[in-house]
Structure 1
Amino acid sequence: MGVCLSTQVKAESPGGSLKYMSSEAKNTGSLGSKASSVSVRPSPRTEGEILQSPNLKSFSFSELKSATRNFRPDSVLGEGGFGCVFKGWIDEKYLTATRPGTGLVIAVKKLNQDGWQGHQEWLAEVNYLGQFSHGHLVKLIGYCLEDEHRLLVYEFMPRGSLENHLFRRGLYFQSLSWKLRLKVALGAAKGLAFLHSSETRVIYRDFKTSNILLDSEYNAKLSDFGLAKDGPIGDKSHVSTRVIGTHGYAAPEYLATGHLTTKSDVYSFGVVLLELLSGRRAVDKNRPSGERNLVEWAKPYLANKRKIFRVIDNRLQDQYSMEEACKVATLSLRCLTTEIKLRPNMSEVVSQLEHIQSLNANRGGNMDRTERRMRRRSDSIITKKPNAGFVRQTAVGSTVVAYPRPSASPLYV
């Protein structure tokens, strides 16, 4: 694998206000005069910037070099938001480097030293994940801050990202069943609900399939907190910030105004829920022009009980009931509404998904005649009009990338 480079603009660190740009962002010319004023290197980086956390270990660079076998190319798991991710091994009790195949498997994310702005994203991850502990947030074991080296040490997530299971083809990545899709959606929703809670008040800001990692039991955990931001406090309704994120997932009001709220995350969740329902990417340039933006294409079908099957991933076949599919579609529509106040909060989303999951568990695979007839009709429509773009995507989508990688279409607004 070649050098892993980040193309995504980084965010502010928790509690901070300085913004750092990539060279690509500088060249776009879309940031205006404010961008040109940010040209000095930040103050010296020390461990004093890191919030105190008894849960994290400070690793030496040599320890992590040993744990990953000198960052060997065959240890690369994929690309993160600001560098490469390597597989390594440490002693489970003492957290010291151990030989491959023994002890605790870890994922080591290594900051690309050429992108000095990445320090802020690195710092955001350390400070957020160092303070939080939740079953649906990826566990940060420790970090390394030594000279110019910046690394993060996470628990290893053997199933990789949701993105890979939904959109890539190959022996390793099998299509997720309806039951597993509901499980993943619920787990991810619980992670967001925790972040949005009154005790935490954090806006994730980059909710997408590549940032949802799966453990061996397909439990979903949110990763990559570099773009996370503290939510509004007091009587403030939003946080004003430069627009940053990924095309297809960002809420329309955030794109238009830069006003960030927890409901911005809810919109992004609606997009991911729609991806789970359809098996399609939020933005897919390989599809016909009218189908490239998933939300715009799917919305007219989601509210129609007789047309909803045009949206549902045909790989799911008879695994779901019409009631379950309609409820998921309705929940997605509620999250995607342009009326911010009408979007549910994530606690409501969790409750709805728990209800849908219970319907699935109690159904036992039964399907009435009406459903069977409608599905046969829907299948015949899909068969008559195959999508060449989708065929091309599946033909080339065999690259194994288990961890989050920089988006191909970041926002520079």
Structure 2
Amino acid sequence: MSGIVVVGSQWGDEGKGKITDYLAQKADVVVRYQGGNNAGHTIEFNGQKFALRLIPSGIFTSGNVILGNGMVINPKALLEEMKYLNDAGVSTDGIKISDRAHVILPYHLEIDAMQEKLRGDKNIGTTKKGIGPTYVDKYARIGIRVGEFIHEELFRSRLEEVLPLKLREYPELDFHVEDIFQEYKEYAKMIKPMVTDTGLLLDEYFRQDKKVLFEGAQGTMLDIDYGTYPYVTSSHPGANGVCEGAGIGPVNIDEVIGIVKAYTTRVGSGAFPTEIDDEVGNRIREVGREYGTVTKRPRRIGWFDAVVVNQSRRMSGLTGLSIMLLDVLTGIETLKLCTAYQLNGEIIHALPAVIQELDKVEPIYEEMPGWSEDITHVTSFEELPINCQNYLKRISELVHCPIAMFSVGPDREQTIILKEVI
């Protein structure tokens, strides 16, 4: 059996969708194990560009994809995304949805927006898609799961139980059981044929020696426990979230590929030690088209941070790196790599758990000469300019992890494989 995990190993937006799409060509099924439609994956191939939020990018290859129990799913958004794909000629017949995943309902979105407003200048920068409030209900044991959602009377009964609790907690909400029920029962009818026990389905795949690819959303620095808390997401984006979010055991995971940019980006609030707020940062943003897939917000730009990626390596057990957007750095005379932090006069090699301390760290940089040659047409590591080769080698040394692949452009064919992982 073969279980491969694709993990965003910075703050998200690293290019997971492209690598998942590439690896999915050899996979039998692709599984998403956490998050919701706050994620954004952009896929480009054959002259077409697709933006996905809920559906794994394996939909373009094998067509067999699973939305796991660790996800929170907005059924309305899911059906809109399916229509978007169908209108482009992409079949969505192979989608399976866990009966244990939780359902995002309209009051979750409203609560999300209200909480962000109340935080004022301390807001987290959520996408206001209702993700956090849905996970809160999950752990408060008042969430509504997909298995309940697809049965009309059970769904109504659960709404009648849960909505009064939410209205008591947030009296300014203006929602009624019947209104939600009448709209959402129609969505439930449409997704019901896709709902199953996906943990059981995955067990069958593994026993049949199938190749299973797991795709996370966001990045490990947004992990609810190990990220830059409280400026994090509400789940575990790294490989540490796969077992719980997909219903499998750790023995089923053979490879974990950490996706990182050749630099660093972040969307929203929170500490960002290597942030570049100057002409170089603006240049990288424009060349790399660094704007959010979901929000369209301009991403914050920073130098490559080995402290961040090392923490990701430890959390997820990375077996290889995939370096994305290497071509974006072409033409920058001097590149910087963050090798450690300094905090209160002490050199440290890990992110402090306390955000107030992380805000104080000073990055320690190592400078390397850049390259000016066009690398978008290279097909091997040896074809890269020597300075570019040295840059990749140094990243590998600093992160204590081999490079499995690197990307020199947005298209599927612009991915150079150094190590076969599936």
TM-score range, shorter chain: under 0.3
Q: Which structure shows the bigger proportion of residues in strand conformation?
A: 2
